[in-house]
Amino acid sequence: MSYNAVPVVLVVEDDWLLRLIAVDVVEDAGFVAVEAANADEAILVLESRADIAVIFTDIDMPGTMDGLKLSHAARHRWPPIKIIIVSGKTRLNDADMPSETRFFSKPYSVPGMISELRSLVAPPSTQETAP
């Protein structure tokens, strides 16, 4: 990924209203949002695009895998992609998640999430600057 390009965040959420809110958070952070309603759609997006910088996923959703399994699969197949997992029902600790994954409980702080998104995609060896 070029650091001159606007980072792309894949938002994976089955609830359309929560997905819309997450997309707004991503766009408010200055990034491009791509949407998927479940992990199966997310895998198709990941297989078809090389520009995804961050996966922002809920845990509980229908389909062949939940957001936690999606996160593990993504870490294995696309190691450079950063991952944020959110859930209002499940609590995770570091041992449950793939390496270098962040977890937020719902409802999450929008300013906190924007800050986390920006810190995940900040170029190495530079100070974070707000767009």
- Looking at the 3D structure of the chain, how many domains does it have? 1
- Please report whether residue 3 resides in a domain: no
CATH number at residue 25: 3.40.50.2300
Render pLDDT for 1-58 as a digit per residue (tens, 0 to 9). Answer: 444 589 999 999 999 999 999 999 999 999 999 999 999 999 999 999 999 999 999 9
Q: What secondary structure, in 3-state letters, does 56-76 show? A: EEECCCCCCCCHHHHHHHHHH
Answer whether 82's CB lies under 8 Å from 55's CB. yes
- Please report whether residue 86 resides in a domain: yes
Render pLDDT for 76-89 as a digit per residue (tens, 0 to 9). Answer: 999 999 999 999 88
As given in the structure block, the two tokens for residue 119 are: 């810190």
- Please report whether residue 26 resides in a domain: yes
Query: Measured between alpha carbons, how far is 33 from 27 in angstroms, rounded to an integer?
Result: 6
- Please report whether residue 98 resides in a domain: yes
**Does 122 have pLDDT greater than 90?**
no
Query: Measured between alpha carbons, how far is 59 from 129 in angstroms, rounded to an integer?
Result: 30
- Please report whether residue 129 resides in a domain: no
Domain range spanning residue 23?
8-121
The residue among 109, 105, 127 whose CA lies nearest residue 118 is: 127
- Please report whether residue 42 resides in a domain: yes
- Please report whether residue 130 resides in a domain: no
